[in-house]
Amino acid sequence: MSIIDDFFSLKGKIALVTGATHGIGMALAKALAGAGATIVFNDLSAERTENALKEYKAAGINAHGYVFDVTDEKAVNESIAKITGEVGVIDILINNAGIIKRIPALEMSAADFRQVVDVDLNAPFIMSKAVAPGMIAKGGGKIINICSMMSELGRETVSAYAAAKGGLKMLTRNLASEWGANNIQVNGIGPGYIATSQTGPLREEGHPFNTFIVGRTPAGRWGEVEDLQGAAIFLSSRASDFVNGHVLYVDGGILAYLGKLPS
């Protein structure tokens, strides 16, 4: 066995990636499958789940899709029990499902604020709590929370998202503190600005936000979903067995960079 196989292989592992019917979640799930993991994913929509199953199959991945709401603790517990019976005990959980509402704080309702926090912060707690007993019984596991640069920075119109992602950073640290003795590593990935279908309009040549992001990033470009795959494999594998409570920012250097002087 090579050192790569020894440290990074996920053969025999079962990985659950929430919301992995498209975008970043699907890219992470495909990466873990390529490293040998059995993939389980969920979505709120049966139609999106079926379409994703077809895409995974076309990529040669025999994924298992389930329909449930990550904010519903009863539904989550029932689904985890079902997954355990049908696929096996979860070894790796990636809390990827999330939403954002870009509304100025003075115009944002408390209901909208609560919904973002419910999906982006409460749900990772519910999911982690649901899989942890199985991991403890099995002797360990990996939990990866998809954080954000907004776990560290503020920006206009994203007060709920930033509050939730900042909370998710601290949830990551606290669960790592509680479960580290059980050989469970809880870490985060903080994506920078990633090229997805959602950011397509912002990335058009000449768009002010595209110019801002490219100029603000030392790498001089938007990230691709593939840029996150290595971090996911690392944090899912035994290569990260002594990495705990850490958020790995994959941002092209934005958080390290003050920015260019105005010309």
Point out the residues that are catalytic: 161
Question: What single-letter DSSP state applies at residue 223?
Answer: B
Query: Residue 53: in which H helix or E strand, if any?
Result: helix 46-58
Contact in structure between 190 and 250 (CB atoms under 8 Å): yes
Going by C-beta distance under 8 Å and a sequence separation of 6 or more, which residues neighbour residue 212?
A: none
Q: What tokens were used for 218?
A: 């030392």
> What's the CA gap between 18 and 24, in Å, rounded?
11
Residue 235 CB neighbours (<10 A): 23
Q: Which residue has the tokens 């997805």?
A: 196
Q: Which of 257, 256, 199, 186 is nearest to 225 (CA)?
A: 199
Beta bridge pairs of residue 38: 14
Q: How many CB atoms lie within 10 A of CB 67?
A: 15
Helix ranges (H only) for 59-201 are 73-86, 110-117, 123-138, 159-179
- Alpha carbon 34 to chain centroid, angstroms: 17
Crossing angle of helices 110-117 and 159-179, rounded to 10° = 30
| Residue 151: DSSP 8-state | G
